[in-house]
Amino acid sequence: MKKITMLTALLLLNILLYAQRQPDAIDDQIKAKLTAIVYEVDNKLKPVFAKNEKLQSQMQQELKVLAKITDPKQRSTAIAAYQAKYKSSYGVLMKQAGVDMTKYAKDLNTSFPTHQFTVTNDFSVMGKLKPVSTVPPKPVTTQVTTPVANYTFDKHTGCGGIAGGNVTSTSSSITGTGVCAVAGGCNNYGSLSKTVSAPQQSSAVIKVAHKAKVEAFAVGIAGLASSYASTSCSYGTHKTTLSVTALAPLLWVGYAEDEETRNDSYTIEAGRSMFIYYGVYSANVSALPGESNSKATITGINNTITTQL
């Protein structure tokens, strides 16, 4: 118990250090909540599985193989097969431990009303950001078009235990990944940004295009594991966000993904500026040996600004 308490403190310290610089504070708030759930559920499940060593060993060995699958289709097939094989016996042990994952999903929904958390296959929790519809303003008549380029790249990485990942970028994309293999946590995020302006004498129209995708994969090999990924794309006051969460208790597996493609136009008033921002965030937490992976990508960034002569 002492070891877990110290590890929790280290994880929360890592969260606090990076929360001050992360543009979307909601990301760190969700990670802190997941960290608390990780330890609460593990403390309930471990004594029950300790009494069923044969089943625990069998499930652990299969999860270790499943955790190494990188092909998305093969991984989805393997997850479905594993869940179908053990769902009945796992449900019995969950009841014996007094663990109700719907309780945690409801708690997360109450704490984060902009998200929707649901229980999948009765045991793992999946979370997504609720969609928000936006209606862009009508473009103005324009004559001169130039591409938006030379974004400023910034990244921050912080991982504990055997964890890792990175944030990388190109001229038209940014990717953030997080990996947590054993007890520890990972917190990686980065951004591309640039300010564009309309001339003093006339307004401008900026046409923006990008594709965003987020993936969260968690395998509770020897303890509960969680994974979280989000993207944030903003053009001045116009903002779109994706967010997914995968929460898998001991000897279970969870996966969530979401994506969107945007093609929009916005008006910049004469003499005004617009700040363009693309952010990716990935976080992983495991209380004991487990595996979780998260990935947030924004690709196909293609923006142009059109002004009158």
Q: Could you give phi then psi for residue 93, rounded to 5 degrees?
A: -70, -35
Q: Name the band, by pLDDT with cuts 50, 70 and 90, for residue 10.
A: very low
pLDDT at 161: 55
Q: What is the dihedral of CA 235, 236, 239, 243, to 10 degrees?
A: 80
pLDDT at 280: 96
pLDDT at 262: 94
pLDDT tens for 259-288 read 999 999 999 999 999 999 999 999 887 766
Q: Name the band, by pLDDT with cuts 50, 70 and 90, for residue 138.
A: low
pLDDT at 141: 54
Q: What total of structural domains would you count in the chain?
A: 1
- Assess whether pLDDT exceeds 50 at residue 22: no
Handedness of CA 85, 89, 93, 94 (dihedral sign): positive
pLDDT at 132: 65
Residues 6+ apart with CB under 8 A from 167: 155, 156, 157, 174, 175, 176, 177, 188, 189, 190, 280
pLDDT at 93: 87
Element (H, E) at 120: strand 115-120
Q: Which residue has the higher pLDDT, 249 or 168?
A: 168
Residues of the domain holding 132: 2-307
Q: What is the mean pLDDT of residues 190-210?
A: 93
Q: What is the mean pLDDT of the chain?
A: 81
Q: Could you give phi then psi for residue 279, rounded to 5 degrees?
A: -125, 145
